[in-house]
Structure 1
Amino acid sequence: MGKTRPKCRLNSQKRVVNPMATGKLELVFISTPGIGNLVPLVEFAHLLVDHDPRFSATILIVTMPQRPLVNTYVQSRAAAASNIRLVHLPAVEPPSPDQFQNSIAYISMLIEKHRPQVKHAITDLMAAPTESDSNQFPSRIAGLFIDMFTTSMIDVANELGVPCYLYFASPATFLGFMLHLPILDSKLNPTELSGLDFDLVLPEFVNPVPPSVLPPSVLQKEGYAWFLHHARRYAETKGIIVNTFVELEPHSVNGVRSRQVPAVYPIGPVLDLAGPAQWHPDQVHHRKVMTWLDDQPPSSVVFLCFGSMGSLSGPQVKEIAIGLERTGLHFLWALRGPPETHLHLPSEYKDPDKVLPNGFLERTAGVGLVCGWVSQVSILAHKAIGGFVSHCGWNSILESLWHGVPIATWPVYAEQQMNAFQMVRELGLAMEITLDYRAGSDLVVADEVERGIKRLMDGDDEVRTKVKEMGQKSRKAMMENGSSYTSLGALIEELAGN
Structure 2
Amino acid sequence: MDQPHAVLVASPGLGHLIPILELGNCLSSVLNVQVTILAVTSGSSSSTETEAIRAAAARTACKITELPSMDIDNLAEPDATVFTKIRVKVRAMKSAVRDAVESMKPKPTVMIVDFFGTGLMSVADDLGLTAKYVYVPSHAWFLAVMVYLPVWDTTVEGEYVEIKEPLKIPGCKPMGRKELMEPMLDRSDQQYKECVRAGLEVPMSDGVLVNTWEELQGNTLAALREDEELSRLMKVPVYPIGPTVRTKEQVGKPNSIFEWLDKQRERSVVYVCLGSGGTLSFEQTMELAWGLELSGQRFLWILRRPASYLGSSSIDDDQVIASLPDGFLDRTCGVGLVVTQWAPQVEILSHKSIGGFLSHCGWSSVLESLTQGVPIVAWPLYAEQWMNATLLTEEIGVAVRTSELPSERVIGREEVASLVRKIVAEEDEEGQRIRAKAEEVRVSSERAWTKGGSSHSSLFEWAKGCRLVSSLENI
TM-score normalized by structure 1?
0.86
The answer to whether the 8 Å contact 1:105/1:226 transfers is yes
Give the residue type in structure 1 aligned to 2:38. Answer: L
The answer to whether the 8 Å contact 1:95/1:106 transfers is no
In structure 1, which of residues 448, 461, 466 is the aligned counterpart of residue 415 of structure 2? 448
User: What is the DSSP-based 3-state SS (H/G/I as helix, E as strand, rest coil) of the residue aligned with 1:296?
Assistant: coil
Separation of aligned partners in 2, 1:434 and 1:174 = 22
The answer to whether the 8 Å contact 1:411/1:435 transfers is no
Q: CA deviation at 1:417?
A: 0.5
The answer to whether the 8 Å contact 2:139/2:212 transfers is yes
* 1:447-494 residue CA offsets vs partner (Å, 9 max, x unmatched): 111111111112221111111011011001000110001101101111
Moved over 4 A (4+): 345-348
Equivalent runs, 1:288-327 vs 2, <5 Å: 288-327=256-295
Which residue is 2:40 aligned to? 62
* 1:39-82 residue CA offsets vs partner (Å, 9 max, x unmatched): 111111121121233x2011001121346111111112223333
Which residue is 2:68 aligned to? 90
* 1:201-243 residue CA offsets vs partner (Å, 9 max, x unmatched): 223634x321222122321322211111111100100010001
User: What is the DSSP-based 3-state SS (H/G/I as helix, E as strand, rest coil) of the residue aligned with 2:54?
Assistant: helix
In structure 2, which of residues 310, 314, 318 is the aligned counterpart of residue 350 of structure 1? 318
Separation of aligned partners in 1, 2:171 and 2:260 = 42
In structure 2, which of residues 359, 367, 371 is the aligned counterpart of residue 402 of structure 1? 371
Which residue is 2:179 aligned to? 213
Q: CA deviation at 1:434?
A: 4.4
Separation of aligned partners in 2, 1:354 and 1:229 = 43
Separation of aligned partners in 2, 1:187 and 1:63 = 37
User: What is the DSSP-based 3-state SS (H/G/I as helix, E as strand, rest coil) of the residue aligned with 1:59?
Assistant: strand
* 1:163-190 residue CA offsets vs partner (Å, 9 max, x unmatched): 1100000000111110110111121265
Q: CA deviation at 1:343?
A: 3.4
Q: CA deviation at 1:193?
A: 2.9
User: What is the DSSP-based 3-state SS (H/G/I as helix, E as strand, rest coil) of the residue aligned with 1:358?
Assistant: coil
Separation of aligned partners in 1, 2:119 and 2:468 = 25
The answer to whether the 8 Å contact 1:406/1:456 transfers is yes
Q: CA deviation at 1:433?
A: 2.5
Equivalent runs, 1:176-255 vs 2, <5 Å: 176-188=144-156, 193-203=160-170, 205-206=172-173, 208-220=174-186, 221-255=189-223
* 1:246-305 residue CA offsets vs partner (Å, 9 max, x unmatched): 101111111222322210000110111236x77xxxx78x92211111111211111111
Q: Which runs of 5+ in 2 are unaligned?
A: 470-475
The answer to whether the 8 Å contact 2:12/2:310 transfers is no
Which residue is 2:353 aligned to? 384
Out of 350-359 and 298-307, give the one that drifted further.
Answer: 350-359
In structure 1, which of residues 269, 279, 283 is the aligned counterpart of residue 243 of structure 2? 269
CA shift in 2, pair 1:81/1:343, >3 Å: closer
Separation of aligned partners in 1, 2:359 and 2:150 = 31
Give the residue type in structure 2 aligned to 1:68. Answer: S
Which residue is 2:59 aligned to? 80
The answer to whether the 8 Å contact 1:408/1:432 transfers is yes
The answer to whether the 8 Å contact 1:301/1:387 transfers is yes
Separation of aligned partners in 1, 2:53 and 2:294 = 42
CA shift in 2, pair 1:153/1:342, >3 Å: closer
Out of 250-259 and 401-410, give the one that drifted further.
Answer: 250-259
User: Over aligned residues, Cα RMSD in angstroms?
Assistant: 2.1
The answer to whether the 8 Å contact 1:303/1:389 transfers is yes
The answer to whether the 8 Å contact 2:277/2:309 transfers is no
The answer to whether the 8 Å contact 2:42/2:311 transfers is no
Separation of aligned partners in 2, 1:321 and 1:49 = 43
The answer to whether the 8 Å contact 2:183/2:383 transfers is yes
The answer to whether the 8 Å contact 1:146/1:153 transfers is yes
Equivalent runs, 1:108-127 vs 2, <5 Å: 108-125=87-104
User: What is the DSSP-based 3-state SS (H/G/I as helix, E as strand, rest coil) of the residue aligned with 1:177?
Assistant: helix
1:101 has 2:80 as partner:
yes
Out of 456-465 and 356-365, give the one that drifted further.
Answer: 456-465
Separation of aligned partners in 1, 2:321 and 2:452 = 52
TM-score normalized by structure 2?
0.90
Which residue is 2:472 aligned to? none
1:466 has 2:437 as partner:
yes
Give the residue type in structure 1 aligned to 2:140. Answer: A
Separation of aligned partners in 2, 1:358 and 1:270 = 41
Q: CA deviation at 1:106?
A: 0.8
1:496 has 2:467 as partner:
yes
User: What is the DSSP-based 3-state SS (H/G/I as helix, E as strand, rest coil) of the residue aligned with 1:151?
Assistant: helix
CA shift in 2, pair 1:248/1:348, >3 Å: farther
Separation of aligned partners in 1, 2:202 and 2:215 = 24
The answer to whether the 8 Å contact 1:404/1:467 transfers is yes
Q: Which runs of 5+ in 1 are unaligned?
A: 1-18, 129-138
User: What is the DSSP-based 3-state SS (H/G/I as helix, E as strand, rest coil) of the residue aligned with 2:421?
Assistant: helix
The answer to whether the 8 Å contact 1:410/1:434 transfers is no
User: What is the DSSP-based 3-state SS (H/G/I as helix, E as strand, rest coil) of the residue aligned with 2:355?
Assistant: strand
In structure 1, which of residues 427, 444, 453 is the aligned counterpart of residue 396 of structure 2? 427
Q: CA deviation at 1:351?
A: 4.5
User: What is the DSSP-based 3-state SS (H/G/I as helix, E as strand, rest coil) of the residue aligned with 2:299?
Assistant: strand
1:486 has 2:420 as partner:
no
Separation of aligned partners in 2, 1:301 and 1:357 = 21
* 1:110-167 residue CA offsets vs partner (Å, 9 max, x unmatched): 1111100110111111xx3xxxxxxxxxx24211000001111112122122211000
User: What is the DSSP-based 3-state SS (H/G/I as helix, E as strand, rest coil) of the residue aligned with 2:255?
Assistant: helix
The answer to whether the 8 Å contact 2:423/2:434 transfers is no
Number of aligned residue pairs: 452
Which residue is 1:368 aligned to? 336
Equivalent runs, 1:7-22 vs 2, <5 Å: 19=1
The answer to whether the 8 Å contact 1:33/1:62 transfers is yes
Amino-acid identity (%)? 32
User: What is the DSSP-based 3-state SS (H/G/I as helix, E as strand, rest coil) of the residue aligned with 1:456?
Assistant: helix
1:476 has 2:450 as partner:
no
